[in-house]
A and B are shown apart, each in its own frame.
Chain A
Amino acid sequence: MPIAHDFDYIKPATMEQTIELLNQENKRISILAGGTDLCNMLKNGFRVPDLMIDIKALHELNVIKDNNTDIFIGALVTFSELINSDIVKEKLYILWEAAHKVASQGVRNRATMIGNICSAVACMDSAATLLVHNASVHVKSVNGERKIPVNEWFVDNKKTACLNNELVTGVTLEIPQKKYASAYEKQMRYAGEDLSQSNVGILVQEDKTYRIAFGAVGPTPKRSLKIEHFLQGKELTDSIIAEARQMIETVIAPITDVRSSKEYRMQMTKVMFERGLRTAIERLNNLI
């Protein structure tokens, strides 16, 4: 299907040039990295940019950088690169797991994690990682650089805190300094490629603190501090897990759509929470 309207294309060589270009109020601008979402939006006419800025020449954004206390992932890093990264596999296992479940190889070879974060659809696979690793999103504009904490980043379904003249350059993920393990669980209609109908991210630390994130069961993905507090410091016996599982009913409000009913989303979130939690604990125990 052709794209019915025309637009300009620029592939700037430098960051300065890019943010200059972005700073044009009278233009509708689309940023192109992997393009796997953008291309469809243009074909369907959901977006009609005047200008498309291809940022693939900004090689400094194609990095995964380990700073010990945190890891920076640049805007050009694809899901395949995340899967092939030892840093990610070792320190961001939840992301490594989630990346495998993004679409298919042919898409992962192009699609970027930052693109996923910018689309901010409720079902995105990266959200759980961002939430349990206390991420901050780096954005740049002519006015300088901002780091937006993840809990401020998601404003609504498909809406982020990014301003029109800002470029997302990457994301920083905090690495706990105690022993920790994580797990990602995704509700899918089958084993093959699917958008998540709901998802759960779990991070557990050796001091028995827990981070729990729920995705696709509200307009934006979010942590559940209520369940985290409840679990805090506790040994996870069957009955504690069962109690925490029951609390899910009070912390999420899933909806019914063409992909799943709210009842099934609720049930699956509970099951995934329990399974993810047990998996993460098992992983933690295996570390020691």
Chain B
Amino acid sequence: MKKINFILNGEKRQIYVEASDILLEVLRQKMGLTSPKCGCDNGDCGACTIILNGKSVRSCLIFAIEIDGMEILTVEGLSKNGMTPLQESLLTHNSFQCGYCAPGMILSATELLKVNPKPSVEEIKECIAGNLCRCTGYQPIIDAITDLTK
């Protein structure tokens, strides 16, 4: 067990982890944050996406022990002070169906909009291409993001 310090959704946290602990599992089981989901456990689906030091990453491919000193944002943190315009837009477009892909999708798009507030449709598609959604056909999600750029 090793002690690690990190910032989770704006709050300083300190926990003990094993070297073999996967970040996704630590977030869900030890930190009680369930918005990162496990869809494939293999880096293929993007459901486990979190933002680590400002970049979207797959928490199923990260060892918890690595994140000592880093900063993590999940959708719980993103929504702390109410919904972001991105979330509002996704909501009014009825973009999601089952919603399982939503947290990952939202964080990928959040990263994009931060560096590129007016992305083209191609850039939006490229950005969320790593987030698999089986329900929506993506179009309602793309529309909601595109609307924000108008």
Residues of A within 8 A of B (CB): 1-3, 5-9, 11, 32, 35-36, 39-40, 42-43, 52, 54, 56, 80, 100, 103-107, 109-110, 191-193
CB atoms of B22 and A104 under 8 A apart: no
Given A9-B2, A105-B56, A36-B43 contact (CB < 8 Å): yes
Instruction: Give every chain A residue within 8 A of B41 (Cβ-Cβ).
Output: 1, 43
CB atoms of A56 and B66 under 8 A apart: yes
Instruction: For the complex, give the distance between the alpha carbons of A252 and B125 in Å.
Output: 34
CB atoms of A8 and B19 under 8 A apart: yes
Q: Which residue of A lies closest to B111 (CB)?
A: A105
CB atoms of A2 and B61 under 8 A apart: no
Given A104-B130, A106-B108, A9-B44 contact (CB < 8 Å): no
Instruction: Give every chain B residue within 8 A of A109 (Cβ-Cβ).
Output: 55-57
Greatest chain B CB density within 10 A among A9, A56, A100, A191 is at A9
Instruction: Give every chain A residue within 8 A of B60 (Cβ-Cβ).
Output: 39
Instruction: Give every chain B residue within 8 A of A105 (Cβ-Cβ).
Output: 56, 108, 111, 126-127, 129-130
Top 4 nearest A-B pairs (CB, nearest first) are A104-B130, A9-B19, A3-B20, A109-B55
Other-chain contact of A104, B18, B46, B55 (Cβ < 8 Å): B46
CB atoms of A110 and B20 under 8 A apart: no
CB atoms of B129 and A192 under 8 A apart: yes
Instruction: Give every chain B residue within 8 A of A103 (Cβ-Cβ).
Output: 43, 130
Instruction: For the complex, give the distance between the alpha carbons of A191 and B130 in Å.
Output: 11
Instruction: For the complex, give the distance between the alpha carbons of A40 and B48 in Å.
Output: 14
Instruction: For the complex, give the distance between the alpha carbons of A104 and B131 in Å.
Output: 8
Residue B73 at the chain A interface, CB threshold 8 Å: no
Q: Which residue of A lies closest to B130 (CB)?
A: A104
- Contacting A at CB under 8 A, from B29-61, are 41-44, 46, 49, 55-58, 60-61
CB atoms of B20 and A6 under 8 A apart: yes
Residues of B within 8 A of A (CB): 2, 18-20, 22, 25, 41-44, 46, 49, 55-58, 60-63, 65-66, 68, 104, 108, 111, 126-127, 129-131
Greatest chain B CB density within 10 A among A36, A39, A100 is at A39
Instruction: Give every chain A residue within 8 A of B25 (Cβ-Cβ).
Output: 2
* Contact sample, A vs B, 14 pairs, CB 8 Å cutoff: A3-B20, A9-B19, A35-B61, A43-B22, A104-B129, A105-B111, A105-B126, A105-B129, A106-B49, A106-B108, A191-B129, A192-B129, A193-B44, A193-B129
CB atoms of A5 and B108 under 8 A apart: no
CB atoms of B66 and A54 under 8 A apart: yes
CB atoms of B58 and A106 under 8 A apart: yes
CB atoms of B62 and A39 under 8 A apart: yes
Instruction: For the complex, give the distance between the alpha carbons of A110 and B49 in Å.
Output: 12
CB atoms of B55 and A52 under 8 A apart: no
CB atoms of B62 and A42 under 8 A apart: no
Other-chain contact of A32, B18, B63, B111, B131 (Cβ < 8 Å): B63
CB atoms of B58 and A107 under 8 A apart: yes
CB atoms of B57 and A106 under 8 A apart: yes
Other-chain contact of B20, A42, A54, A100, A104 (Cβ < 8 Å): A42
Give the shortest distance, in Å, between B120 (CB) and chain A (any CB): 15
Instruction: For the complex, give the distance between the alpha carbons of A204 and B25 in Å.
Output: 48
Q: Which residue of A lies closest to B127 (CB)?
A: A105
CB atoms of A35 and B63 under 8 A apart: yes
CB atoms of A35 and B56 under 8 A apart: no
CB atoms of A193 and B130 under 8 A apart: yes
Instruction: For the complex, give the distance between the alpha carbons of A40 and B42 in Å.
Output: 6
Since A9-B19, A105-B108 are in contact, a sample of 11 more A-B pairs with Cβ atoms closer than 8 Å, ordered by chain A residue number, is A3-B20, A6-B20, A7-B19, A7-B20, A39-B60, A40-B42, A104-B130, A105-B129, A109-B55, A191-B129, A192-B129
Instruction: For the complex, give the distance between the alpha carbons of A43 and B60 in Å.
Output: 10
Give the shortest distance, in Å, between A233 (CB) and chain B (any CB): 39
Give the shortest distance, in Å, between B109 (CB) and chain A (any CB): 10
Give the shortest distance, in Å, between A110 (CB) and chain B (any CB): 5
Q: Which residue of B lies closest to A100 (CB)?
A: B126
Q: Which residue of B lies closest to A1 (CB)?
A: B41
Give the shortest distance, in Å, between B142 (CB) and chain A (any CB): 14
Instruction: For the complex, give the distance between the alpha carbons of A32 and B68 in Å.
Output: 15
